[in-house]
Structure 1
Amino acid sequence: MAKKEKKKKLIEKLKNRYRLIIYNDSTYQTAWSIKLTRLKVFTFFGIGGLLLVLFTILMIAYTPIREFIPGYPSSKVRQLIVHNAVLVDSLEEQLHIRDNYFDKIRILIEGDVPQDPDFVADTAIPKNNLEINYYNHDSVFKQKILEEQLNLSIQKENPQSRNIANIHFFVPLKGMITNKFNVQSNHRAVDVVGLPNSRISAVLDGTVIFAGWTAETGYVIYLQHESDLVSVYKHNAELLKDVGDKVKAGEAIAIMGNTGELTTGPHLHFELWNRGIAIDPEKYIDF
């Protein structure tokens, strides 16, 4: 009973009415008055405090005032953080490429052949601005040998005088040409994209004069044909012939791939040479 009486008294105190009056100091007349209860006063200050807290949170969240809070980064600092994150990501990618390149050199020095080249071109770098600095003694030596094999004559006569137009070439890969023959850009070949795992065919009867791996162009095969012609097939996934093998026109010699550091995706890099001079394959082959 005592507890109930105390609760009633507390409720009655909260509901008791009071009058707040403001008098004129000179005339003692009532200037303003209001009836209040303790419950109304507590409710008023509680709602006011809640609104003040909510207003403060909104001001901090949606205005530049939050930058004055100790430990909160400014807009410039946030931009710098994002920029550094991009640089770190690019650095990690470059370190991966470097490690992969060194692993390939180590394997070549040991006399082995890399089995699963996993290099993927960085598509974030514009193709026209891509600069690759490399020097591989093994690849340079192989390139010199291939240049000597391609240079079948000291005299630089016109390939057209050999009646190449009368020769029927077999299509090495039926597909779409993504990069044409262009002497000005030093692209003395055509890049052909076909279906995945497409077979690469010999364009003419001939003999395999080189079949192997280079760091820049991956699995490569060279064929020597009659009429002083040499055909070149680069970036293959797998080679089906060895040096010295005789091949027939249309015979499968490789599988289209994406090997080598200079590749930009699965395709065939096809070159056609006559007496040491590169010629445009599109003039003689209908891809």
Structure 2
Amino acid sequence: MEEQKQKKNWRERLKHTYRLVIMNEETFEDVASYRLSLLNVYVLLSSIIVLVTIGVVLFIVLTPAKRLIPGYGEANALPELVEMNRELDSLEAALQAQRIYTDHFRRMLAGEVETVQDIQNEPVEFPDSALDIQRIPEDEEIRREVSLAELQTTPVNNELISRSADLPLEQMYFTAPIRGEISSRFDLDKKHFGIDVLAPKDSPIKAALPGRVISASWNSDTGFTIIIQHANNVVTEYKHNSALLKETGDFVKAGEAVAIIGNTGEQTNGTHLHFELWHNGQAVNPEKYISFH
């Protein structure tokens, strides 16, 4: 009986109406008044809480804020992590290849290039997986055809250089880069991969063949150096110049001036041209194919 009375009193209190009056403090004038009950206040507060809860849930679901919840983004981010990992591996491989290329290029400019004797004496190790791989004749033929296709033509000043693989150097026409007295001859044993030609100061250095400049730079050993790639896998180098007339990427014709003779770099003792001729990656004696007199 007592419990029923308490419940009844509680319900009556919820429904009991109160008046909320807002007054002006100075004039005591009623500004606004509201009739409220505990039930109305309870319903209002409950509605506000529900709306705020719904808003928070929608904000988390429909915005990237859900990624901040611990454990939520792990499964969804897995494909992105795999893709990022793959791109990182590709960048590392490209960086390593660039480092190897730069190192080999630096060694070539400095004259620290492996000769045939060095390569023959150097032991070659293959991974276990490579020991079982054998090239078949058809594979070699395909490789040769691809190489020929890549070396067919190269534009030079809107002209075409005809490329012929395996063409003997004796059948190629070279232009003397400069004419003068040879002060130092080609000597593989002393790692002197070219010849030194004396000539008057400010004499122009000419391209021995038509081709493309693959390097035009300065280094402490050989000074201003220019390197040109030609057809038939031929490369010529011109070192110790006082100035370069061409830039990397330029196309030149045979006999076109590419530099001015000089005495730059530490490995020099007078005005001269150090000229190197490379064929299929091997240094050859320029005097066998070019007359410098």
Structure 2-normalised TM-score? 0.45
